[in-house]
Amino acid sequence: MSDGYVWFEGIPFPVVDFTPEHMREVQENFVFKDEDVLILSFPKSGTNWLIEILSLIYSKGDPKWIQSVPIWERSPWLETMYGYKTLKDKEGPRFMTSHVPIHLFPKSLFKSKAKVIYIIRNPRDILVSGYFFWITSNFVKKPESLEQYFEWFIQGKVVFGSWFDHVRGWISMQGKENFLILSYEELKRDTRSAVQKLCQFLGKKLEPEELNSVLQNSSFQAMKENKMSNYSMLRGWLLDQKNGSFMRKGISGDWKNYFTVAQAEVFDKIFQEKTADLPRELFPWEEWSNTSRSQR
């Protein structure tokens, strides 16, 4: 009987559109091409915001594509059966998205020049965002309370496993020419500069009015109102009919409204222990925002 996850190599995956056999097939047989663009993240890091921005950069700010094609078709989720089928034989440059940890990822990526963007976010905000999303979705185990989800998260017993392991794994690619790390927080703080950085990485040049259109059409409000991007089409199937919204708040630091002082302290301790040997610039939110509730 399912315990609310599909398990593959000790990592929990969603129960819809995933099987261990399929995961193995993707890992062993998916072939990356040099012209591919891959978005990687731990779930709830701002993945879909980045997909929207990339869609707009490639259409030079023209919103036609984002307003007519669902976001999951523009950048399919590689590890799902649907995404894999869509991507496998697709001609030309492909966009794709994945949450898979590095050690389970298709090996062909590491021999290709595909452009890879890893979006990282304060895990405290990921935890809160995930809690509110999973309680209104029907494809992963639902937590009964934020307290319970907090425990699952720090133990790595959530979809795609431990945030700490995910980050540690993927940032080992840092320094490679085809690998960019972008934080949700820098995207939020100065979206224009972050989009310019993305354009440079992707080798794309936008005219000023095209850039303005990218910014306007990928704003939180624009995405919330775009039914091709706000996941409202999946209500009644993968998501509850009425409750919850994929486009929830779209802010940094919301965790402060939910963590108790004790939880904030526990999280700080674990964060420091588990990231002590990693470069601090990977975690800009730690400096920018009065990270710890207890220090405020």
Which residues here bind ligand LN4DG7MM, judged by CB under 6 A? 43-44, 47, 231, 234, 238-239, 246
Of the candidates 32, 34, 66, the residue with the CA atom closest to the CA atom of residue 49: 66
Rounded Cα–Cα distance for residues 16 and 12 (Å): 12
Contact map string, positions 182 to 221, toward ligand A3P, x by CB under 6 A: ------------------------------------xxx-
Residue 270: contacted member of ligand LN4DG7MM, ligand A3P, none (CB under 5 to 8 Å, by partner type): none
Binders of ligand A3P among residues 241 to 270 (CB under 6 A) are: 247-250, 254
Residue ranges of the alpha helices (H) in the chain? 20-29, 47-58, 64-68, 71-74, 81-88, 123-134, 146-155, 163-170, 184-189, 191-202, 208-217, 220-225, 261-275, 284-288
The question of whether 166 is a catalytic residue gets the answer: no
Rounded Cα–Cα distance for residues 42 and 118 (Å): 9
CB of 137 to ligand LN4DG7MM, least distance (A): 6
> Under a CB-based contact definition with an 8 Å cutoff, are residues 143 and 128 in contact?
no
CB of 280 to ligand LN4DG7MM, least distance (A): 25
Of the candidates 74, 75, 94, the residue with the CA atom closest to the CA atom of residue 31: 94
**For ligand A3P, which is the closer residue by CB, 56 or 154?**
56
Binding footprint of ligand A3P, residue count (CB under 6 A): 19
Binders of ligand A3P among residues 14 to 53 (CB under 6 A) are: 41, 43-49
Residue 234: contacted member of ligand LN4DG7MM, ligand A3P, none (CB under 5 to 8 Å, by partner type): ligand LN4DG7MM
Rounded Cα–Cα distance for residues 133 and 141 (Å): 11
Whose structure tokens read 């354009």? 199
Binders of ligand A3P among residues 94 to 153 (CB under 6 A) are: 125, 129
Active site residues: 99
Binding site for ligand A3P (CB under 6 A): 41, 43-49, 125, 129, 218-220, 223, 247-250, 254
